[in-house]
Structure 1
Amino acid sequence: MGAFPTTIHFTGLNTPVRTECAIRDLEVIGTIPPEISGAFFRAVPDPAHPPMFADDIVLSGDGMISRFLIADGHVDYDIRYVRTERYMLERKARRALFGQYRNPFTDDPAVAGRDRTVANTTPVWHAGRLFMTKEDGLAYEIDPVSLETIGRWDYYGALRSETFTAHPRVDPATGEMFFFGYEAGGLCSRDIAYCIADRDGKLVSEQWFEAPYCASVHDFAITETCAVFPIFPTTADLDRLKAGGPHWAHQQELESWIGIMPRYGKTDQMRWFRGPKGVSAFHLVNAFDEGDLVHLDLCLTDTNAFAFMREAGGIHRMPWEVNGALTRWTFDLSSAGETFEERPIGPPGDLPRLRDADQGRPYRYAFYCSMNPAGGPPLPGGPVGAAFNALVRIEPGNGRVEMMTLAPDMAVSEPVHIPSAHDGHDGWLLAVVDRCTGEEAFDSELWVIDAADIAAGAVARIPVPVRMRAQVHGAWVSAAQLSQRKAT
């Protein structure tokens, strides 16, 4: 194609920007709390070239690593493309060479067998290194200071999996990173590699097992004793790919499964629980132990939230017809059988965050994006085509729910949480907020929000003087952590 399509994936907040820049000393409206010092890294898909096919999607966009660097009340902004093999091949050719989303059979023959990942989903910090990840390939290491791409990361050749999840989990006590890769053995394989890297970043364990079917396994969870793998019925089929079809198709009549194993155990100790048919969850809030019980809190919907995945499976429902809730699944490991308990604990939404210190443990509060129940139609944009316009604080222990609501012409991206140095204070949230200012015109600001009083809105706002494209996920890295970065 010679131009970008005029679909939801390339208009509104999803309009390609394709601009690398560095801006020092952004304007600050209000006061940034002095204890906020570090970097807010964001993963931003932004296609560098018009796609080969008009039905391409947001998730195919080339990865950009974005950073708000905050110190002493000053804020600098930088954004650069991740120099993946795919990006560099297309940059040299000055056109798209890779075809449909996660379908190598639609690529230009010149790039057969080359790395397709765009590293556009999640910035991950572990053991002094920054990675950009997307679950269809290996992570790419990024210099956290210059934002230059260092290269593909495979633990110095030790990692056998062909893929690396966009949602690893770091234990706050041990410093270990637990992660996995699905389709680990190749396209449409049922192989999942379950891995552990120690606090120094060394790969110390990699075990493989087979899922009940080849599914999109976007997220997983750990507790202090277990690893939890939810398998939802959005499936891949090799023959469909060879025929030029979509990678994923949601199967509404297929059962979901949840695998639970000791987190330091063997994969042959995996115990499978049978879940509801047709449900989907891309993001999990947390999991934790309570005696023999394992609680899993997830952003559950009754079908797949992505229209292109639903429609590939013959499911034609409008976005507002998708039902869901923040849901708790409870598994009793002392009882036989495949069943578990389910109960809703919060309003529908997605993109959850909690304190890093609460990972895999009982937690008092968490945050996620949702829709303003009193608002109008959401802004077009984001991975699913409709942007969130509310932020929720949930306290699952007492059922308390608070909400920061935005006007219909506004949108909020996934927040990050920053702990407070003051006892009794719940810390701070950073989130990018967009506002529509005219036809296909948007302004963006970074908001600083008191985590204990999100309904009050921003305590500080930092306008960004350039057009921004919607992010996927983000990560907060403190100044102390940045000072411990590994030499490359």
Structure 2
Amino acid sequence: MPFPATLDYMGLNKPVGQEVSIKGLKPSEGTIPADVRGAFFRAVPDPQFEPFFVPDTALSDDGMISRVLFNEDGTVDYDIKYVQTPRWKAEHDAGRRLFGRYRNPYTNDPSVEGVEGTVSNTTPIWHAGTLLMTKEDGPAMRIDPATLDTIGAYDFGGALKSKTMTAHVRVDPETKEMFVYGYEADGLCSKTMSYWWTDAQGKLVREQFFEAPFCSLVHDFTITQDHAIFPLQPTTADLEIVKDKGPHWVHKPDLEYHLGVMPRYGDVSDIRWFKGPKGVSSFHMMNAFTTPDGKVHMDHHVTDTIAFPHIQADSGINVPPSMLGGGFQRWTVDLSSDSDTVEVTPLGPPGDMPRIAKKDEGRNYSIGYYCSMDPQMKGPPVMGGVVGAMFSALLRKDFVTGAISGYNLPPAHGMSETVHVASSEPGHEGWLVAIVDHELGPDRYEHAVWIWNAGDLPAGPVTKIPIPTRMRPQVHGWWVPMAEYRTATAA
């Protein structure tokens, strides 16, 4: 059976379905900076089998864990394997797709009733020497960082009670604690959320449950040194609709975006809910910080409505990517006031996939980076990724001066999210590393790892390392320095 002729399975999104191992790759341009030694883990959706529910979404595709390993000798190894979730195993054994509509178990083949349905295709997470692959609709899956083999579902030694774990955790750079949440934490379409944190060794310290104002697609959250922030966008789930084999998510243009703010180490009974603009959407937070005047500031990428085509279709919305509006914004709430409103401050042009230096997590910071689109592109964007078009620009925001600088990719090039690599040189901003795809013609692509000096994006990449195999776009990635990687893989 062929895959559907939709954006989710055409062009750069054409399924590859291959586990690959390539050793000893070398740069075609420039040299790899000495700081860039370690593992760049990537989450890559890639389906084993064609869907039987059409239209489908790439968000339903099986997860693959990819590793770009920058060796001490200056060579690079590339490896990718399927995450063998219970769903992957059931479908692999059957030789066909058994799970139906996106996140709707009532449309599945009866043979997989009760089988965990997460595909673990969104974010690789590294903490305390443990590598996890995550998607927010189920448990994390632990991966062997050396072999990339799947070890199994991970519940923090049996301590975690939440049925779900976010794909976006936050790690404090000083305490090394990891802060985590899960939504639909006790069941499908539930308003119940879970919030927990671990110590530096990965041991779960405290898990708490609370009821959100509505069941929201809470894709990301963020922390400050004093607070945890839960962003509820107005994309909601209704169990009766799901039972009727309808969509899991419907976007509500007339519903306010909600922010829940609580003390980072406090009790969930202390959450205060604030209301932002109606109908807006945001999936990724760059950072947040608390100031001495009692204000909490959150920087994120906002669109005027939901960006995902399948959710738009299920919500009766039809807004192309070029018309989504919004931009990079700072939202501020005042904890010293009785007001429940959000102050919105524009920061920059639209974009997504934000990145900061790990040392700045939860702090009042000066520099951030994100992907965007070249406003003067010569030719159409490279089609691919979960929203249908790849990014064509990389931006640097200076929060001290307000300046924005960046780099526009050449025509027919697209990029995925970067990772930031710290520099050993005092005063150096470090490096940004990403996979860049070049469209050579119909269904013809070449792929390479590009490295930029984070403090001088307009100068262009300092290094390019070709990867000679067909690659599908990633969702998110994680950088692990070589010392941490070697310690974990030698254990």
* TM bracket, shorter-chain basis: over 0.9
CA distance in structure 1 between the aligned counterparts of 2:462 and 2:320, rounded to whole angstroms: 36
The CA deviation at 1:315 is 1.5
Answer yes or no: is the 8 Å Cα contact 1:446–1:462 preserved in 2: yes
Can you list the C-alpha shifts for 1:377-434, whole angstroms capped at 9, x where unaligned?
Answer: 2111101011111111111222110111013311011000000000011111110000
Deviation track 1:203-258 (CA, whole Å, cap 9, x = no partner) reads: 11100111111010000000000000111110011111111111111010111110
SS across alignment from 2:89: helix
How far did residue 340 of structure 1 move?
2.5
Contact 1:129–1:486 (CA under 8 A) maintained in structure 2: no
Q: Supply the distance in 2 between the matched residues of 1:383 and 1:109 (Cα, whole angstroms).
A: 28
String of CA shifts for 1:34-57, please: whole Å, max 9, x gaps: 221100000000001111222111
RMSD of aligned C-alpha atoms? 1.0
What is the SS of the residue equivalent to 1:455?
helix
- Give 1:454's aligned residue: 457
Cα distance in 1, alignment partners of residues 209 and 400 from structure 2: 36
Quote the residue 1:284 is aligned against.
285
What is the distance in 2 between the residues matched to 1:380 and 1:364? 33
In 1: Cα distance, 2:5 partner to 2:285 partner: 33
Q: Is the 8 A contact 1:307 1:319 kept in 2?
A: no
SS of 2:241's equivalent?
Answer: helix
Identity rate of aligned residues, in percent?
A: 53
2:309 pairs with 1:307: yes
- Partners of 1:309 and 1:215 lie apart in 2 by 13
1:364 aligns with 2:366: yes
Partner of 1:333 in structure 2?
335
Judge conservation of contact 2:228–2:263 (CA < 8 Å) in 1: yes
Task: Say whether the 8 Å CA contact 2:26–2:74 is kept in structure 1.
Answer: no
The list of structure 1 runs, each at least 4 consecutive aligned residues, that deviate by more than 4 angstroms after superposition, is none
Equivalence for 2:195: 194
Moved more, 401-410 or 281-290: 401-410
Cα distance between partner residues in 1 of 2:174 and 2:87: 37
C-alpha contact 1:249 1:311 (8 A) present in aligned 2: no
One-letter amino acid matched to 1:332: D
The aligned length equals 487
2:163 aligns with: 162
What is the letter of the counterpart of residue 25 of structure 1? G
Distance 1:370 1:35 in 2: 26
The aligned counterpart of 1:444 is 447
Task: Check conservation: 1:259, 1:272, Cα contact below 8 A.
Answer: yes
Q: What's the CA shift for 1:27?
A: 2.9
1:418 to 407, 415, 421: 421
Aligned to 2:13: 14
Q: Distance in 2 between matches of 1:408 and 1:388?
A: 12
Deviation digits for residues 295-343 of structure 1, max 9, x if unmatched? 1001011111112112211112222111011000111111111012111
AA matched with 1:421: S
Corresponding residue of 1:45: 45
- Provide structure 2 residue ranges, at least 5 long, that are not aligned to the other structure: none
Q: CA offsets per residue over residues 362-387 of structure 1, 9 Å max, x none?
A: 11111111000110321111010111
| Aligned residue number for residue 245 of structure 1 | 246
Q: Which residue number corresponds to residue 103 of structure 1?
A: 104
The separation in 1 between residues aligned to 2:403 and 2:100, in whole angstroms, is 46
1:480 paired with 2:461, answer: no
Change (3 A) 1:64 1:151: same
Separation in 2, partners of 1:378, 1:252: 28
Q: Which amino acid aligns with 1:138?
A: P
SS of 1:328's partner is strand
Alignment partner of 1:296 is 2:295:
no
Q: What is aligned with 1:69?
A: 69
User: What TM-score do you get using the length of structure 2 for normalisation?
Assistant: 0.98
Partner of residue 214, structure 1: 215
Q: For the residues of structure 1 that align with 2:342 and 2:20, how far apart are their CA atoms?
A: 50
- Alignment partner of 1:427 is 2:430: yes
Query: Any gaps of 5 or more consecutive residues in structure 1?
Result: none
CA contact (8 A) 2:351 2:372 kept: yes
Q: Tell me the equivalent position of 1:127.
A: 128
SS of 1:477's equivalent in the other structure is strand
With the length of structure 1 as denominator, give the TM-score of the two structures: 0.98
Distance 1:345 1:479 in 2: 34
Q: For the Cα contact (< 8 Å) 2:145–2:489, is it kept in 1?
A: no
Shift of 1:487: 7.7
Q: CA deviation at 1:486?
A: 7.4
Q: Which moved more, 1:25-34 or 1:113-122?
A: 25-34
**Aligned counterparts of 1:288 and 1:236: Cα–Cα separation in 2:** 30
Counterpart of 1:59 in structure 2: which amino acid?
A: L
Contact 2:287 2:299 (C-alpha < 8 Å) held by counterparts? yes
